[in-house]
A and B are shown apart, each in its own frame.
Chain A
Amino acid sequence: MGMMEKLDVQADLAREYLTFRLGDEEYGIDILKVQEIRGYENPTRIANAPHFLKGVVNLRGTIVPIVDLRMRFGCSSAEYNAFTVSIILHIGQRTIGVVVDSVSDVMEIPAEAMRPAPEMTSAIEATYIRGLAQVGERMVILLDIESMLMSQDMGLVD
């Protein structure tokens, strides 16, 4: 089982994850990819882009694309209110922002708390899910955010 092998390799690396909420779901991404967290600001729309690409914003002089993860994952609603935040990620040489409902926590998730995600159809391809983690009563979906954002269907790269 591919996922298990992947977990084994990462077993000794107890990683820290930034967790955030999208609707009722909780997700975690590798904290090392996170550059900063900002309040949501209205981006400049880009014509003919996928619906989840909200546009581009000015981040201290650099032009940064903003992806609304809620729209990407097909959440029922994507409102922009005082809690809506953009997580600015540093991926490869690029800076990309993702919009989430709220940021919850930074937590260390030991390898033994990770479970493979079952094969099933969802808005997120299984390859972009590193695993599911049980934290108390909550289930955190650990994303491989880098390969997800860099994939062709995100339309962020030429």
Chain B
Amino acid sequence: MADTSTDHSAAAGIDLSQFYQVFFEEAGENLENMEQLLLELDIEAADDEEMNAIFRCAHSIKGGAATFGFSDVAELTHQMETLLDKLRRHELVPTPPMVDVLLQSGDALKAMLGRHQGSGGEEVDTSGLLFNIRAMVAGEAPPAAEAPVAKAQVPAAQAPVAAAATAATTGKRIVELRVGPLNDLSQADNLVDLFKEITDLGTIEPLPDDPSLDATRRFKVETASAESELLDLFTFHVAREQVAFLPYGDAATPAAPAAQAEASEKGYGFFDDAPGAPAAAQPVAPVSAVEPQQPKPATAVAKPAAPKAEKPAAALEASTIRVSVEKVDQLINLVGELVITQAMLAQNSRGLDPVVYQQLVTGLTDLDRNTRDLQEAVMSIRMIPMSTVFSRFPRMLRDLANKLGKKVELVTQGEATELDKGLVEKITDPLTHLVRNSCDHGVEMPADRIANGKPEVGTITLAASHQGGSIVIEVRDDGRGLSREKLLRKAREKGIDAPDSLTDSEVWNLIFAPGFSTADVVTDVSGRGVGMDVVKKNITSLGGTVEIDSAEGYGMRVAVRLPLTLAIMDGMSVGVGEEVYILPLSSVVESFQVSQEMVKTIGGSGRVVEVRDEYMPVIELEKVFQVPRFDWEHNSGIMVVVEAESGRVALLVDELLGQQQVVVKNLETNYRKVNDVSGATIMGDGRVALILDVGSLVRRSRH
């Protein structure tokens, strides 16, 4: 962003709108980054690095917003920056209200950026925020609730403090304008001409040159225009970082460096990047008014000051590129093709004599390995770390805990675990629900926790890990856990058949029943009983499972198990007649051979089979899919037990053909939804095989 804001040829002539998207993306990232940093900030011992990093986020957004003319965004970030600058220079001590105001400002900025992007929404009123920030900058601590009343006082409160600061300031004021260092001092004369041409701007008078400032011209300017407006005009003649505004008269009294530093900060708050030496830095580098990180001398100063924070950011920038998901998906499709072609070649070459065709066979083996590696590499492009999901929870939990009057700490583990992008988007809502539940129902009030001999602050843990071909995301809390008696009682109230003989895990699973809530009080957070069933349904639809574990008084654990990706699935292929069907391996429980006698009928048609003292409905795939038979003396002798939606059925098939990874294709792209089929895939021989929807088969057995 900094690049575009200093690119004056662009500012002058080129249509900036082509860069909007880049700005929105970067501003979005900066906002997220800032929010995260603010949440991690330890108020009692604020780290300089962190403060600098937060400041830089606000600063980058401001720079971009000003360049592209989003003045509302620029104004708010400008004020945030002023406050942040005071904090990082230890002129103000950070307080929780400050963090709150900054977080709220972040939300407001998100809304504003959304509006500018055309997503609509209400106009964002930032006057309260602006007032609060200004008051904080001035060292006051206004409670947020007073904002509406205080608003009326804005002009009065503002005038002395922020006369030079705010873009919204009205009324004339006198500032000192410094322009330099200039290659040619006459460039500054253009500014004088500018004031002549635009009479509304005010007046400009040259001041005697200060010998301590090299190649710099000074002017006394009386104006009613905001500095950002002036800067926009000046950019036609001189670069932004060559322009500096100072409160008039300060330079004449260099004996008061502290006062000067403070006064100038009210204007910009980013005069230098070397904390601890503001006064010393100022005479040498007054030029870096807008982009202190950009001009070379300032960068040299900034780097040693914040080496740690600078490095990862730079490394990240250099090592990533933005690519549209569409392109990646196209790549994945093409690789899928390649894998199929490769499988076909492998199949066709099987009969070749390896002695005669040695080279060909070697080549095909290499091709096999390379395609597999390529497939894995391409699939990994779509994988994004869980931290993108986890990062939204600290903020949510903080707000929630405040609202409920609870004390909760969030611990995240395994943020680096990677998951398919498509899944990440779909898992966020269910996870949010689970975390919310843990905070609302799980963790007790601080007093209750102390009474129970637990630490006052409850802990909610989010952990992600890879287990085999799936990813397991756990939400754990050390709260009150689930109560067996309460669940059974509630279930019976709801008319669910719940005998005392149910195992613990069966009891826990009761909370997945529709409309089930164990909360005694319905809050606006949760407890309405619309939830766990939806969570379970959503996760099941992604091919995942949910498990609950709980110990009353000690907490509970919800484990969500998901396949790594939606595009590739482990499948078991089964043969029925001459046709091949694919079963998702995750739903296959076991398979065994049956003889005719093992299959019994109920009511003449319903067929069941006994498996380990349990009778299970039998579904003959042959009948479901009306498979034509050419071999009249066949014998379907294999049962595959599959499980879905907490039900099991035994599928009767002719043979098991093997297990393989299959690329899942959508049938609905060119055709339509087919009953009992969730998709299709392309087999090694290039033919299409249908993937069975086990959930729908289980439902079929129920009626």
Within 8 A of B (CB), among A112-158: 155-158
Stretch at the interface among A9-17, A22-30, A53-61: A53-61
**With A48-B626, A56-B688: A61-B333 Cβ-Cβ less than 8 Å:** yes
CB-CB under 8 A from B336, the residues of chain A are 61
Question: Is B670 interfacial (CB-CB < 8 Å)?
Answer: yes
CB distance from B581 to the nearest CB of A (A): 10
Contact between A63 and B670, CB atoms less than 8 A apart = yes
Question: Is B492 interfacial (CB-CB < 8 Å)?
Answer: no
CB-CB under 8 A from B702, the residues of chain A are none
Distance A43 CA – B667 CA, assembled complex (angstroms): 14
Question: Is B675 interfacial (CB-CB < 8 Å)?
Answer: yes
Question: Is B674 interfacial (CB-CB < 8 Å)?
Answer: yes
Contact between A61 and B340, CB atoms less than 8 A apart = yes
Question: Is B403 interfacial (CB-CB < 8 Å)?
Answer: no
Contact between A95 and B670, CB atoms less than 8 A apart = yes
CB-CB under 8 A from A104, the residues of chain B are none
When C-beta atoms are compared, the residue in chain A nearest to B336 turns out to be A61
> Which one of B579, B667, B686 lies within 8 Å of A58 (CB-CB)?
B686
CB distance from B505 to the nearest CB of A (A): 36
CB distance from A154 to the nearest CB of B (A): 10
CB-CB under 8 A from A56, the residues of chain B are 667, 671, 680, 688
When C-beta atoms are compared, the residue in chain B nearest to A95 turns out to be B670
Please, what's the 1-or-0 string for B660-703, where 1 marks a CB less than 8 Å from any CB in chain A?
00000111111111110100101000111110000000000000
> Which one of B334, B671, B675, B686 lies within 8 Å of A65 (CB-CB)?
B671
> Which one of B337, B626, B672, B677 lies within 8 Å of A156 (CB-CB)?
B672
Please, what's the 1-or-0 string for A38-67, where 1 marks a CB less than 8 Å from any CB in chain B?
000011111111000001111011111100
CB-CB under 8 A from A63, the residues of chain B are 665-667, 669-671, 680, 682, 688
Contact between B337 and A60, CB atoms less than 8 A apart = yes
Distance A38 CA – B245 CA, assembled complex (angstroms): 74
CB distance from A54 to the nearest CB of B (A): 12
Please, what's the 1-or-0 string for B476-499, where 1 marks a CB less than 8 Å from any CB in chain A?
000000000000000000000000
**With A61-B340, A62-B665: A96-B688 Cβ-Cβ less than 8 Å:** no
Question: Is B624 interfacial (CB-CB < 8 Å)?
Answer: yes
Distance A69 CA – B682 CA, assembled complex (angstroms): 25
Distance A56 CA – B665 CA, assembled complex (angstroms): 12
CB distance from B375 to the nearest CB of A (A): 13
Contact between A44 and B688, CB atoms less than 8 A apart = yes
Within 8 A of A (CB), among B65-109: none
**With A46-B674, A61-B336, A63-B680: A158-B668 Cβ-Cβ less than 8 Å:** yes
Within 8 A of B (CB), among A62-83: 62-65
Question: Is B625 interfacial (CB-CB < 8 Å)?
Answer: yes
Within 8 A of A (CB), among B609-659: 624-628
CB distance from B138 to the nearest CB of A (A): 60
CB-CB under 8 A from B680, the residues of chain A are 44, 56, 63
Please, what's the 1-or-0 string for B550-579, where 1 marks a CB less than 8 Å from any CB in chain A?
000000000000000000000000000001
When C-beta atoms are compared, the residue in chain A nearest to B628 turns out to be A45
When C-beta atoms are compared, the residue in chain A nearest to B338 turns out to be A61
CB distance from A57 to the nearest CB of B (A): 6
B contact residues vs A (CB 8 Å cutoff)? 333-334, 336-337, 340, 579, 624-628, 665-675, 677, 680, 682, 686-690
A contact residues vs B (CB 8 Å cutoff)? 42-49, 55-58, 60-65, 94-96, 155-158
Beyond A61-B333, A61-B340, 20 additional pairs, beta carbon < 8 A = A44-B689, A44-B690, A45-B579, A45-B628, A46-B674, A47-B627, A47-B674, A57-B688, A58-B682, A60-B337, A61-B334, A62-B669, A63-B666, A63-B670, A64-B670, A65-B671, A94-B670, A155-B672, A156-B671, A158-B668
